[in-house]
């Protein structure tokens, strides 16, 4: 008795199967392209292009500042690294933007839990740089607070939607507890700038979730007390605030940044023709907006500000008729995080805010920060994708704001 011959699929059958899966992926891409907010994507890519030009201008200044008598860094070192980080960031952006809304929510929750755990490790085994312990050395440098930013908005939005299932759940206590835990872990580093940014996102989500004005007022009062305590307990924060209120000197970082920003006038001195940038610390990261002002002019700085405003306005317009409560809250929180960080950085460069060590999203050079902000944009694109089959849960942001005005 002979054994049965093994089944070998015919070549035409294999081709049909391959064509079937290729068609499936093509259909997925078509759906993604149809549902994605292409205007928002274009605005983000425009900022990243400007960021590449800005890092090109700032790279020689940072390379010269970090060079020593023994080691001279390549003038375009930071540009070359920036291009690598941007490539990885774009991969993260497009990858996360293809997620469904539900998978984006799951990713945000898992990422948030993981980064909270990492923040517990930072005070214990973190790497200290410039007086702050914010990084973990895992064979590569990881800043957990950067990756917590997109996850934080999604995590809080998810908790606040629990009220749809049970209005009696203490969601306000839960989200406030999460905010308090994050603030405590960040201030152990210390990292006042990110603490304020997370607090701003938390406050925006509370406003949109329907929390009463009395409760919000009480929480704001507590926040003022906490900031006052920070001034007296943290020397770094007190020195920066005192320097800001006192007007600073010609050697202060913020004062140097403002002088560099205004040195180029309206049209700028031209690429690699800037002089003041050579004495500017962190020219490729925290103070890249000043380098743009010197070499490309205040008109380009104004265009950057308009691009950030356009991104925020575009997302809000997208959310005005959003029918899903989670999408509305998460989208608002994510765009508040991007916009808040951008304008804190710009205000620091204009000497209108104390120095916070915060990068300009989508523009500054960065490793963790570049990938994290690209993930933020990708999650924002995924959450604001239009699906006509989603069932209605809320009256939309526009109607919700109208109802609040009537009750007020």
Q: Which of 5, 84, 47 is nearest to 377 (CA)?
A: 47
Using the predicted structure, report yes or no on whether residue 322 has a pLDDT greater than 70: yes
Residue 41 is predicted with a pLDDT of 95
Question: What SS3 state is found at 212?
Answer: coil
Residue 169 is predicted with a pLDDT of 81
Question: What SS3 state is found at 356?
Answer: coil
Average pLDDT on 159-183 reads 86
Report the percentage of the chain scoring pLDDT > 70. Answer: 80
Dist CA 78 CA 373 (whole Å): 18
Range from 205-209, 221-225, 399-403 that averages highest in pLDDT: 205-209
pTM of the predicted model as reported, rounded to 2 decimal places: 0.83
**pLDDT tens-digit readout, 275-316:** 888 888 888 888 999 999 999 999 999 999 999 999 999 999
Q: 263 exposed, middle or buried (CB, 10 Å; 0-12, 13-18, 19+)? A: middle
Question: What SS3 state is found at 129?
Answer: strand
pLDDT-wise least confident of 42-56, 93-107, 225-239: 225-239
Residue 18 is predicted with a pLDDT of 43
Using the predicted structure, report yes or no on whether residue 88 has a pLDDT greater than 90: yes
Q: Which of 135, 115, 139, 113 is nearest to 125 (CA)?
A: 135
Could you tell me which residue, 223 or 2, shows the higher pLDDT? Answer: 223
Residue 137 host element (H or E): strand 132-137
Residue 197 is predicted with a pLDDT of 92
Residues 315 and 40: beta-carbon distance below 8 Å: yes
Residue 71 is predicted with a pLDDT of 81
Using the predicted structure, report yes or no on whether residue 274 has a pLDDT greater than 90: no
For residue 398, cis peptide bond before it (omega within 30 degrees of 0): no
Radius of gyration of the chain (CA): 24
Number of C-alpha atoms within 13 angstroms, CB side, residue 111?
Answer: 24
Q: Would you say the C-alpha torsion 134, 139, 140, 145 has a positive or negative sign?
A: negative
Q: Which of 264, 271, 346, 276 is nearest to 307 (CA)?
A: 346
Dist CA 36 CA 382 (whole Å): 7
Residue 208 host element (H or E): helix 192-209
Residue 303 is predicted with a pLDDT of 95
Average pLDDT, the chain: 81
Residue 156 is predicted with a pLDDT of 94
**pLDDT tens-digit readout, 71-85:** 888 888 999 999 999
Per-residue DSSP letter, 136: E
Question: What SS3 state is found at 388?
Answer: coil
Could you tell me which residue, 386 or 144, shows the higher pLDDT? Answer: 144
Phi, psi (deg, nearest 5) at residue 392: -75, 130
Distances (CA, A) of 385 to 49, 213, 263, 353, 392: 24, 31, 43, 35, 15
pLDDT interval class at 246 (50, 70, 90): low
Average pLDDT on 233-245 reads 61
Using the predicted structure, report yes or no on whether residue 11 has a pLDDT greater than 70: no
Average pLDDT on 20-49 reads 82
Encode 260-276 in three state secondary structure: HHHHCCCCCCCCCCCCH
Contacts of 204 (CB under 8 A, 6+ apart): 332, 333, 336
């Amino acid at each position: 008795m002979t054994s049965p011959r093994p089944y070998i699929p015919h070549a035409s059958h294999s081709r049909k199967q391959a064509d079937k899966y290729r068609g499936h992926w093509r259909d997925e891409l078509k759906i993604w392209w149809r549902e994605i907010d292409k205007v928002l994507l274009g605005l983000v890519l425009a900022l990243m292009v400007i960021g590449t030009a800005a890092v090109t201008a700032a790279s020689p200044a940072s390379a010269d500042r970090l060079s020593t008598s023994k080691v001279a860094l390549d003038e375009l070192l930071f540009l070359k690294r920036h291009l690598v980080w941007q490539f990885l960031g774009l991969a993260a952006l497009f990858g996360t933007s293809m997620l469904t809304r539900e998978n984006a929510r799951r990713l945000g929750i898992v990422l948030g839990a993981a980064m909270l755990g990492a923040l517990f490790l930072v005070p214990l085994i973190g790497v200290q740089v410039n007086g702050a312990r914010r990084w973990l050395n895992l064979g590569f440098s990881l800043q957990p607070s950067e990756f917590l930013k997109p996850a934080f908005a999604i995590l809080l939005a998810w908790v606040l939607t629990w009220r749809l299932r049970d209005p009696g759940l203490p969601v306000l206590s839960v989200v406030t507890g999460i905010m308090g835990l994050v603030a405590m872990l960040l201030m152990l580093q210390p990292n006042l700038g990110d603490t304020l940014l997370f607090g701003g996102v938390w406050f925006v989500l509370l406003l949109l979730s329907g929390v009463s004005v009395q409760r919000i007022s009480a929480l704001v009062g507590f926040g003022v007390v906490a900031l006052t305590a920070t001034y007296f307990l943290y020397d770094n924060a007190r020195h920066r605030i005192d320097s800001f209120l006192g007007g600073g000197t010609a050697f202060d970082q913020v004062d140097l940044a403002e002088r560099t920003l205004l040195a180029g006038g309206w049209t700028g001195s031209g690429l690699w023709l800037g002089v003041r940038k050579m004495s500017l610390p962190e020219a490729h990261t925290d103070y890249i907006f000043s380098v743009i002002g010197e070499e490309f002019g205040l008109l380009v700085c104004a265009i950057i500000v308009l691009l950030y405003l356009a991104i925020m306005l575009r997302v809000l317009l997208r959310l005005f008729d959003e029918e899903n409560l989670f999408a509305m809250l998460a989208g608002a929180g994510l765009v508040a995080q991007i916009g808040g960080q951008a304008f804190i950085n710009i205000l620091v460069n204009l000497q209108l805010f104390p120095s916070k060590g915060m990068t300009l999203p989508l523009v500054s050079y960065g490793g963790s920060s570049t990938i994290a902000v690209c993930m933020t944009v990708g999650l924002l694109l995924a959450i604001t994708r239009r699906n006509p089959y989603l069932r209605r849960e809320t009256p939309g942001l526009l109607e919700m704001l109208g109802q609040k005005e009537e009750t007020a």
